[in-house]
Structure 1
Amino acid sequence: METKRPTFLPKSWDLPESIRKRLGDAAGRQRLMDEEGHLLLILHQAPEPEDQEIRKPALFWNQPGGEWKSYPEGGGLAALDAHIETYHKNIHSQDEAVELANTPRQYFDVMKHVTPLLRATRNMQAVMQQAREARPEERRLINFRDRAVELERAIELVAEDAKAGMEFSLAENTEEQSRFAHDAAIEARKLNRLAAFFFPLATLVAIFGMSPPAEVIRMPGFWAVIGVGILAGLIIRGLPMGRK
């Protein structure tokens, strides 16, 4: 019984049964299949965060006669060259984004792009190495393999820079917030001492305020109490503030 053709394969591709029976309904992970002289490379198009982990396949088929075909872009190895170049452009774009990032949010946005791109690049490099070993006579695969290795190194550096930048930015923000909290504590202490300075007077106003001012002033000991309150406030105000 002939195996059902997966929907992601072009209808015009006459792959051997030994390969078709190894394929599921979806393209799955990046990998290589080498059966009966047919070499099938299943790669992923450069991922984006909005893909929601749904990877779009890029297929490259080497027939026993040496001819290459590709899908969804035609052109065979020329399409493979363009495929790898797309990864190069995306990595370069993320490298520039890291250079421009200043805040943790900006670094996080970069890492949302870099993380899936790093994983896809590593897997692509592994497949290209296997393809090079499966077809040692196809020298063009050497260049593709070498370019994939360079891309893997480049995206790893971008990922490390983004991670280091985020950690530094977070540490810097934490230090700044600590400094603001310290300054706020100093200001709160000043306000508390001002309140302590005026508290005796405020208390006196509350006590004597129920009587007419003329009667309050004539009360025994009124000015002595005012003097003691002011003196107490000055003493509290003059206490050491502590080091900033």
Structure 2
Amino acid sequence: MTMQLPANWQLPDEIKRRFGQKGAGKQRAMVANGHLLLVLHKLPQPGSRQRQGIFFLRHPQGIWKCSEGGEGLPRLRKHLKGYSKAEQQLCQEYGQAALAEDYFQILETLAPICRAAKNMMDTLQAAREGVPEDRDIIDLRDWANDVDRTLDLLYTDVKNALEFDLAKRAEEQSRLSLESVRTAQRLNLLAAMFLPLTALCSLFGMNLFNGLEHSPVAFWMILGLGIALGILTQRWILKPSAKA
């Protein structure tokens, strides 16, 4: 953030010395000789890590100025209103969200706004302590506190909803996997049941003379033997599972 203080602002040296050469820095309130300077961050934009600063100066006479021009106090209220509108928009998106992707997208937008709102509230609290007689600062501090609390609760709700959705998906995937295992087990049992019978039928179905071609008794004996071997094979397969 490279924004600098307006050159025409007359500030005490005690405040000027608290600024580095790289820009405004973090959000904070500075009080010296009756002057109050607020360093705030504009509403973070989705996908951007850059924070754009904005300055509000209160003179000892109670006159406010904004680094972007205009009357300082209305611009400060407009600054907080931007956070309030973003909070309302995110609450609406949360109410319409249904998938994990929706919750994740809300969190991605919400996280930097939560941090900025928290720091803004701390800054206004420091301003309240530095200029305790200004009731406008009290109102702004309370407003920022409400926005911060609502955003914090929204962040918790969205995070819980995301974790619940992921857990539900994992449970559903586990259920489908278990059902697939059970289906495969049934198919394996059927294959084990009829494998000996299939082998015997293939053996005695060869075009070789063995003397049993015209014997009904031999047919039933071979069939019974195949079924018995199938049952034994099935029990042998299930035996390790039973021990486990």
TM-score (norm 1): 0.81
Deviation at 1:30, TM superposition (A): 0.8
Moved more, 23-32 or 200-209: 200-209
Distance in structure 1 (CA, Å) of the matches to 2:3 and 2:73 = 23
- Residue ranges of structure 2 left out of the alignment (5+ in a row): none
Give RMSD over aligned pairs. Answer: 3.0
1:91 aligns with 2:87: yes
- Post-superposition Cα deviations, 1:47-103, rounded to whole Å, max 9, x if no partner, equal 234122x22112101123332111236331111111100100111112122222233
2:45 to 38, 45, 48: 48
1:33 aligns with 2:26: no
SS in 2 for 1:66: coil
Closer/same/farther in 2, CA of residues 165 and 73 from structure 1, 3 Å limit = farther
SS in 2 for 1:61: strand
1:168 aligns with 2:161: no
- Post-superposition Cα deviations, 1:14-57, rounded to whole Å, max 9, x if no partner, equal 333322211012221110111222211001112234122x2211
Closer/same/farther in 2, CA of residues 115 and 7 from structure 1, 3 Å limit = closer
- Residue type at the aligned position of 1:165: A
1:15 aligns with 2:8: no
C-alpha contact 1:16 1:36 (8 A) present in aligned 2: yes
TM-score (norm 2): 0.81
Closer/same/farther in 2, CA of residues 73 and 112 from structure 1, 3 Å limit = farther
> What is the total number of aligned residue pairs between the two structures?
232
Identity of aligned residues (%): 36
C-alpha contact 1:208 1:216 (8 A) present in aligned 2: no
1:108 aligns with 2:129: no
Moved more, 187-196 or 42-51: 42-51
- Residue ranges of structure 1 left out of the alignment (5+ in a row): 1-5
- Residue type at the aligned position of 2:166: L
1:215 aligns with 2:212: no
- Post-superposition Cα deviations, 1:116-156, rounded to whole Å, max 9, x if no partner, equal 22221111111112212222332222211111111111112
Distance in structure 2 (CA, Å) of the matches to 1:27 and 1:216 = 101
